Structures are given as structure tokens and as C-alpha cells.
Chains A and B, each alone.
Chain A
Amino acid sequence: MHGLINRSIQNFISDNFSLAVWRQVARRVGMDFEEFEPMLTYENRLTSDVIDAMTYVLGRPKSELLEDLGSYLVSHPSQEGVRRLLRFGGVGFEDFLHSLDELHDRAKLAVPNLYLPTMELDQVERGHFTLVCRGSLPGFGNVMTGILRVIADDYGALVLLDNSCISEGCEKICIKLVDRDFAQGRGFELGALVS
């Protein structure tokens, strides 16, 4: 698994909870290093081990934590780069949804050996979509739900998300766009300087 993904989970744990919690998780997994390097690749097993250890240490349902991880990725100040890269996808929330189909390719373009799950957006009816996630990251549907919740706010759109149909192997999220101009939303400056 790409270090960027593992490091994101690590950052989520240490930023959202504490460094002590992260150390506890790392110890439980039996890692012989302090932290993940974002530009190295690790054994796939390690990622699910870290997620399982996090669930155990924090004593909360895995799906809930993964959804929080998604929200963290696009709202925490330290992850501003992720939010910006996603917002390049579209001018409005609907536009953004349609750009998810190419997120896999976009990620690979930026970091050639980074493989995100592939996603497929279907429009069931006007303003009603389903997003199917496929790939080597079990639970990605939960992460994506968290991301969508925050990004919708970011665009100022009001959406209803239902991920009750997420099960192992098929992760489907139902998205109902209630009002695309519900609130002001957060700005996105195309040419902003990101450190």
C-alpha cells in the first residue's frame, strides 16, 4: 500500500486523537518504526492491521472511524492540499461528483504508483446518484462518505448520504442532492499558493 494512504491514517489518529493514541496503535500492530513515510510503499496487510488496531484502541465502530477519517482528509488544516486537489475536479458539487470517475487516473498522474479505488457514478434520476467504489481498500466507501459530507458543505450544497448498502466487496453510496446552492460554501482560489 502506498505510504501516502498509511500516513493519512496515521495523521488522522495523531491529529484527531493524540500522538499517544497513535503510538498505542503502532505498538499494537508491532511496527518497528515510528511513522509512515508518505513516499514509500508498504505491505498491504499493514494498512488493514493499522485500521483494526485503531478500532480496537479507540473502541469505536470501524465504519464510523473511517467516515471520520474521510472528513478529516478534506477539513483538517494540515490536509488542505487534499481538499484543494479534489476541488480542482469541478466548479459545483454535481460537477465534482462527475469528476470522481477519473480520480483514480488523476491520482496516478500525480504519484505514478498511487492506486486509489476506482469509482463509478450513476445518475438514478435528476439529483439522485449512486457511487460505487471498487478496489483494494476495504472500507473505502465509508471514507468516501466522510469526504462527500464535507466537500458538499465546501461547495455549499445540501446533500443526503446513505451508505447503508455498503458491504464487503461492494461499496455503494446513495447521494441525494437536495439543494446545490444551499449555503455560501468555502472559497476555492484556483491559483492559491499552497505550502
Chain B
Amino acid sequence: MTHSEHSRVLDTLCPMHLVVSKSGDILHVGPTLRKLRPEDRYTNTLFFDHFAVNRPKMIHSIEDIHWHSGMTMHLSFRQDPSSTFKAVLVPIGEAAEIFVINLSFGIAIQESVRRFGLTNADFAATDMAIEMLYLIEAKSLAMSASHRLNLKLQIAKIAAEEQAFTDTLTGLKNRRAIDHVLARLVESNQGFAVMQIDLDFFKNVNDTLGHAAGDHVLQAAARIMVKETRVEDTVARVGGDEFTLILPDLLDARDLRAVGERLINQLERPILFHGRQCRISASIGTVWIRPDKNLVAEDILSSADAALYHSKNTGRARQTVLEDTGFNQP
């Protein structure tokens, strides 16, 4: 093949190739590479006038490059507009008089195509560049559609959680459930009791044995509360170690006190966690609402809170029962 035939073949198959002499003179430039430097800036210039070899390091001459024949090199344009390239060099002739260096954009394909305004015709018909660009674009569209869906689902999940009535750690009801039940009871003018329970020494368990132990204790406490109450009672965890119980249809304040006592006794029994004993107790504040009292839910809860603080302030591990008016300690 003649020199011009060589060039014609290479221009079609590798439109981003260069032919360089042993002394580094640029002899021929493929059409796409020419397009990147429109004003024919390659004529009578040297390879190293245009390109820097970034990897492998320490390449400054054609001999250095020659030594790396067949290996992947990373080049970049020395002048703006800049671009990075992957490249490979093949020596031609027995004495390696000339070199063919073929370039591609590598990972910089999308940005380079944009920067230099390239079209399908600038790539060899067999080049995967167009498929690559198609894939990037198609995948980005699919990804942003998925992203939008995820966002929507996340918002829906948060909304569902907000509407849920369950405390996920203990399986008890939560504060929202309490508000719901309380509102219904207040409206129906039934008699009922609200019991606020704070676990005593719980912080100590958390601090000395860790959060896993703390969670275990909360779950055990929840089981005790469920066991010591009736099916029609509502047991809820309303804060870290705060619980609220609603007990409808109680006929006697003595029953109420008995429930409180049983709860404190049961909760004071050591709870085992990985062989370690966790010891807690409980302070309880209770209000007993007789039928037809026409109270407001908020007032009932704050009265129960006041009773609870009284238990806490008078030494913990005890209950205070408020029967409509005034404190009434057992």
C-alpha cells in the first residue's frame, strides 16, 4: 500500500489517529482529530507541541513513547479547548521510521462530543461511541424517572408513618392512637382512667449497657404492661421511656391502684439482657374520670402528668392517683 492509501484506510477506520515521524514531526492527522483543531494548527508542528502524556509518567520524547508501544497511554491537549484521550502507539516499518498513534476520548466522551460539536460522522462506523452516548442518555432518563418515583414513594411512606397508630419498637400503640382513643372517650362521657408511666433508672440502663439493652428493656416493659392490663385497655409508648395507659369502665379506684401496684412490682423484677441484669422501676400518675364529667382531653393528660411528677418528686417507684380533685396517695 502506498502512503496515501494507508492514510485513506486509517482515516476511515481510526478517524482520531496521528502519523508521527521518528523525530516527532506530525505527518498526518485523522479527520476527527483535525476537527478538534480547526485552523490546521498541526502542519509543521511536533507531537509534543500539542499533546502531553499524563500516564505513564516521565514520557517526554518519541523514544519514551516508542518504548511503550502497544500499551495504553493517557494524553491531553496542551492548549485550550482541552480534552483528555486514551491512546495507543504502533511503530511502522522495520526500523520504526514512523509511528501511528490512535486516540479515543475514553471516559470523557460525552463532554468532548459536546465541547467540539461532534456528530455520528466523526466516529468510525464500528465505533461504540454513539451506542455509548445513547446509553448514557437513555439510562439518565430512566434514572431520573426512577428517582422521581423513589421521591414520591418516600413522601408516601412518611405520610403513612405519620398516620400509623403503632410504635414500631414495642408494637404498642403510639401517641396518635392515645389522642384518638381519648377523644372518643371524652366525647362518649364514659368513665375511664388515664395512667402516665415513666420508667425509673432507664437512662442508667441505656448509659451503662447500651442502646440495645435499653431497647430490650422497653420491649420487656411493654410486654409487662400488656400482660397486666385488659384487652379493652389501650397501652401506648408516647416517648422514650414514657407510656400512657387508658383504662375504660373502671368501677372502683381500688382496682386502679391494684393495677398500678402490680405494674411497679413486675417492672422492678430484673430484666435479663445477654446475661446482665437490668433493673428499673416505674413512677405512675393516674387520673380517674367518672362518667359525665365533661372534661377536655388536654386537661386530663396534664392532670395525669401532674400526678406523675408528684410520684417522681416524692421518691419515684410509686403511684399517685388523682380522683377528679386533689391528690390522693395510697
| Chain A contact residues, CB within 8 Å of chain B | 4, 37-40, 81, 84-85, 88, 90-91, 106, 109-111, 188-194
A193's closest neighbor in chain B, by CB? Answer: B114
Shortest beta-carbon distance from B139 to chain A in Å: 6
Binding site for A on B (CB under 8 A): 110-115, 117-121, 130, 133-135, 137-142, 145-146, 149, 152
Contacts of A40 in B (CB 8 A): 149
Which residue of chain A lies nearest to B138 when distances are taken between CB atoms in the complex? A110
Other CB < 8 Å A-B pairs besides A88-B130, A191-B111, 15 of them?
A39-B145, A85-B134, A85-B137, A85-B138, A88-B137, A90-B120, A110-B135, A189-B114, A189-B117, A190-B113, A190-B119, A190-B130, A190-B133, A191-B114, A194-B137
Whether A111 and B133, one on each chain, are in contact in the complex, defined by CB atoms closer than 8 angstroms, is: no
The answer for the CA separation of A106 and B135 in the assembled complex, in Å, is: 9
- Cα distance, A148 to B135, chains bound together (Å): 22
CB pair A110–B139 under 8 Å, yes or no, is yes
Write the nearest CB–CB distance from B132 to chain A, whole angstroms: 10
Q: Which of A90, A110, A190 contacts B142 (CB 8 A)?
A: A110
The 8 closest A-B pairs by CB, nearest first: A191-B114, A110-B138, A191-B113, A88-B134, A38-B145, A39-B149, A91-B120, A81-B141
A191/B110 in contact, CB under 8 A: yes
A-chain residues with CB within 8 Å of residue B140 when the two chains form the complex: 194
Bound Cα distance from A4 to B145, whole angstroms: 9
Chain B residues with CB under 8 Å of A37's CB are 149, 152
Please give, as numbers and ranges, the residues of chain A lying within 8 Å of B113 by CB-CB distance: 190-191
Instruction: Out of A4, A84, A90, A109, name the residue touching B135 (CB < 8 Å).
Output: A109
Who on chain B is nearest to A86 by CB? B134
Closest to B120 in A: A91
Closest to A107 in B: B138
Minimum CB distance partner of B133 in chain A: A190
| CB pair A38 B149 closer than 8 Å | yes
Residues of the A chain whose Cβ atoms lie less than 8 Å from the Cβ of B121: 91
Please indicate the chain A residues that have their CB under 8 angstroms from the CB of B138 in the complex: 85, 106, 109-111
CA distance A192 to B135 in the complex (A): 14
Interface centre among A37, A85, A191, A194 (most CB of B within 10 A): A191
B137 — which chain A residues lie within 8 A by C-beta? 81, 84-85, 88, 194
Bound-complex Cα distance A4 to B148 (A): 13
A90 to B142, CA, bound (A): 22
A110 to B142, CA, bound (A): 7
Q: How far is the CB of B16 from chain A (nearest CB, A)?
A: 15
Q: Give the Cβ gap from A7 to chain B, nearest Cβ, in Å.
A: 9
B115 to chain A, nearest CB (A): 8
19 contacts between A and B (CB under 8 A): A39-B149, A40-B149, A84-B137, A88-B130, A88-B133, A91-B119, A110-B135, A110-B142, A188-B119, A189-B114, A190-B119, A190-B120, A191-B111, A191-B115, A191-B117, A193-B114, A194-B137, A194-B140, A194-B141
Complex: A188 Cα to B121 Cα, angstroms: 12
Smallest CB separation, B246 vs chain A (Å) = 35
CA–CA, A190 and B137, complex, Å: 10
CA distance A190 to B139 in the complex (A): 16
A190 to B110, CA, bound (A): 9
Nearest B residue (CB) for A111: B142
Contacts of B114 in A (CB 8 A): 189-193
In the bound complex, residues from chain B placing their C-beta under 8 Å from that of A189 are 114, 117
Q: Which residues of B contact A194 (CB under 8 A)?
A: 137, 140-141
Q: Which of A4, A191, A193 contacts B133 (CB 8 A)?
A: A191
Task: Please indicate the chain B residues that have their CB under 8 angstroms from the CB of A109 in the complex.
Answer: 135, 138
When chains A and B are docked, how far (Å) is the Cα of A150 from the Cα of B80?
Answer: 39
Q: How far is the CB of B130 from chain A (nearest CB, A)?
A: 6
Interface-central residue, B110, B114, B145, by most chain A CB under 10 Å = B145
Give complex CA distance A39, B142 in Å: 8
Chain B nearest CB, measured from A106 CB (Å):
7
A39 touches B146 (CB 8 A): yes
Q: Which residues of A contact B115 (CB under 8 A)?
A: 191
- A106 CA to B115 CA in the complex, in Å? 26
Please indicate the chain B residues that have their CB under 8 angstroms from the CB of A111 in the complex: 138, 142
